[in-house]
Amino acid sequence: MARPRSNPLQTVAGVLALALAYIACAELGLTLAFATKQVTAVWPPTGVAVAALLLSGTRLWPGVFLGALVSNALAHEPLWTAAAIAVGNTAAPLLVTVVLRRVSFERALQRSRDVIALFVAGALCMTLSASNGVTMLAAAGLVPWHAFASVWLLWWAGDTMGVLLVAPAILAFVTPAPRGGDGTQLERVALVASVVVVTSLSFLSAFPIRLSVYPLLIWSALRFGQRETTSAILLIATVTIWGTAHELGAFGTGTLDQRLIAVMSFLAPLVTTGLVLCATTCERRAANERLAHAAETLQSAFLPRELPQRPRVHCYATYIAAGKEALIGGDWYDAFETHGGSIVISIGDVSGHGFGAAVAAERIRQAIFTSAFDGGDPAEVLERVNRAIEAQDGAIATALVAVIDGDGRIMRFASAGHPPPVLATPERPASVLPYDGMTLGAGYPVGATTHAFALDSNTTILFYTDGLVEFDRDALRAETSLREAVTQLAKDGRAGNAAERVARSVIGSATPSDDVAVVVVRVD
């Protein structure tokens, strides 16, 4: 597929804008040059050049050359020297761009491999600009040959730190990226205030606490995204460099070039730690979101799409997935008609989370369907399923099977360690029905008893999994809310999904820590 042709006017405008940005950043960097007027340990233009070429393409390289030529000419160099140095200043960012494209670099820096690739490519390719630049300065007599190594190191450090500090910030803010973490706005304000205070104490005073900025950067990386993290890094770097230039803080002794080299040696691992950790966190978030989506798709495929409806018996159900910390659970529900016209309700919860729990839940659901379809007794159904799962994978689960006759007058149910049904009528508030029985797969007979209840007109029956009452770790309060919700539902004949109304009455807008399955049967 051919790449779209660029607009010449846009290209020219981009070249000029890049040249002006390069010159402005170069003037800022040269204010920190001391021993060698043309060389500094802080050289932001390289980061600007790398970011621009990655974002807009290599067609903007004349902007880098033009900006470098003017910047070097303003640094009191002969014109031929300035032009020769500009060639190296242009070639190094171009080489970084080519290398990153070869390794499928993604500009959002949401992957640790992209951050590492940027750092490695920047450090390696800047040897080109440093070698070319110092050689040209020495040939022009501006740098003595015996000082080649020290000046080369200063030049290379300045270019490399320009890539590490400036390019990630530009890429993070310009490139569209997924949501930036779980931090709140109040937490963001607290982070900024903490960075300002701790950095000021560390690098503008005599307090020996310079490593205290690491926990703040880790905080930003774990709770926010690359934009907040690169902003924190730039803020720390700005305060640190300013304090060092004015002989303040932990790096306030020695010549300016020595102090700046010490600052760069401190900032390099700080930047690497922050951005790599942030990218790793972004990868984890993305993986969790993909897994949660796959889990939701899998679980929805297992659950029944339609529930049986009779003139007197109406079934409703809902399923609420847990928060992404827990991901997929082993809850299930089912409702189907037997050959004899009865309606069978099954609901249960496999211990644990993950795809294995979901698959085990589906096997148990199918086993109950097979056993109860011909009209089996609920307690006998549970015993047969218990023997089947012990012979297969030994999954441990709670389960409940209820059978409502075709006229909706009698309900028989048995429980294998599962929360009992809740029953209410317009005249009687909600009450919890009796239950017994061991969990499935525990290595013992279930020992459940089949309980039979006559159903009055306008009876509401609730079946649920324990995630409904354990969502906020206050089961007693949640159970009270549950009974109140069922009582109100029995008095209220409004249309709509009764199961969803009960679930939201108990949980509200909270995200449960465990999956929730709810089935409501209304007998008119």
Kindly list the distances between the CA atom of residue 132 and the CA atoms of 37, 81, 89, 103, 140, in Å, as whole numbers in the listed order. Answer: 17, 10, 9, 26, 12
Q: Nearest to residue 486, comparing CAs of 520, 451, 453?
A: 520
List of the chain residues with pLDDT < 70: 1-6, 32-39, 41, 177-181, 208, 257, 292, 295-296, 298-300, 323-328, 391-394, 471-474, 493-495
pLDDT tens per residue, range 172-194: 888 876 666 677 889 889 999 99
Q: Nearest to residue 228, comparing CAs of 167, 272, 175, 183?
A: 183
311's tokens: 């003139």
125's tokens: 């390719």
Continuous segment of H or E residues that includes residue 254: none
Give the residues across from 440 on adjacent strands: 397
Continuous segment of H or E residues that includes residue 411: strand 410-416
Give the residues across from 330 on adjacent strands: 350
Helical H runs in 224-331? 226-245, 256-302
For residue 322, the tally of other CB atoms under 10 A from its CB is 21
How wide is the angle at C-alpha 212 spanned by C-alphas 210 and 218, nearest 5°? 125
Continuous segment of H or E residues that includes residue 508: none
Q: Reading across the β-sheet that carries 410-416, which strands appear in turn? A: 329-337, 343-353, 397-404, 410-416, 451-454
**From the centroid of its chain, how far is CA 381?**
43
Rounded CA-CA distance 216/232 in Å is 9
User: How crowded is the C-beta side of 418, counted as CA atoms within 13 Å?
Assistant: 36
- What residues contact residue 9 under an 8 Å CB cut-off, 6+ apart? none
pLDDT given at position 378: 93
What pTM was computed for the model? 0.66
One-letter-per-residue 3-state SS of 345-403: EEEEEEEEECHHHHHHHHHHHHHHHHHHCCCCCHHHHHHHHHHHHHHHCCCCEEEEEEE
How many residues would you count in the chain?
524
- What residues contact residue 287 under an 8 Å CB cut-off, 6+ apart? none
pLDDT given at position 39: 67
- What residues contact residue 195 under an 8 Å CB cut-off, 6+ apart? 213, 216, 232, 235, 236
pLDDT given at position 38: 58
- β-pair type (343-353, 397-404): antiparallel
Rounded CA-CA distance 282/224 in Å is 9
Rounded CA-CA distance 238/28 in Å is 12
Rounded CA-CA distance 57/522 in Å is 65
Rounded CA-CA distance 408/399 in Å is 22
- β-pair type (516-523, 313-320): antiparallel
Rounded CA-CA distance 221/233 in Å is 11
pLDDT given at position 37: 59
- What residues contact residue 190 under an 8 Å CB cut-off, 6+ apart? none
How wide is the angle at C-alpha 53 spanned by C-alphas 157 and 9, nearest 5°? 140
pLDDT given at position 3: 47
Rounded CA-CA distance 66/62 in Å is 6
User: How crowded is the C-beta side of 139, counted as CA atoms within 13 Å?
Assistant: 12
Q: Which residue has the tokens 């300045």?
A: 158
Could you give the 3-state DSSP secondary structure of residue 118? helix
148's tokens: 């080649």
Which CATH number does 306-523 carry? 3.60.40.10
40's tokens: 């500094």
178's tokens: 């997924």
Give the residues across from 413 on adjacent strands: 402, 451
Q: Where in the chain is the domain with CATH 1.10.1760?
A: 10-176
Which CATH number does 10-176 carry? 1.10.1760
pLDDT given at position 2: 45
Give first-to-last CA distance, the chain, whole Å.
64
Rounded CA-CA distance 199/161 in Å is 19
Q: Where in the chain is the domain with CATH 3.60.40.10?
A: 306-523
Q: Which residue has the tokens 């930003």?
A: 220
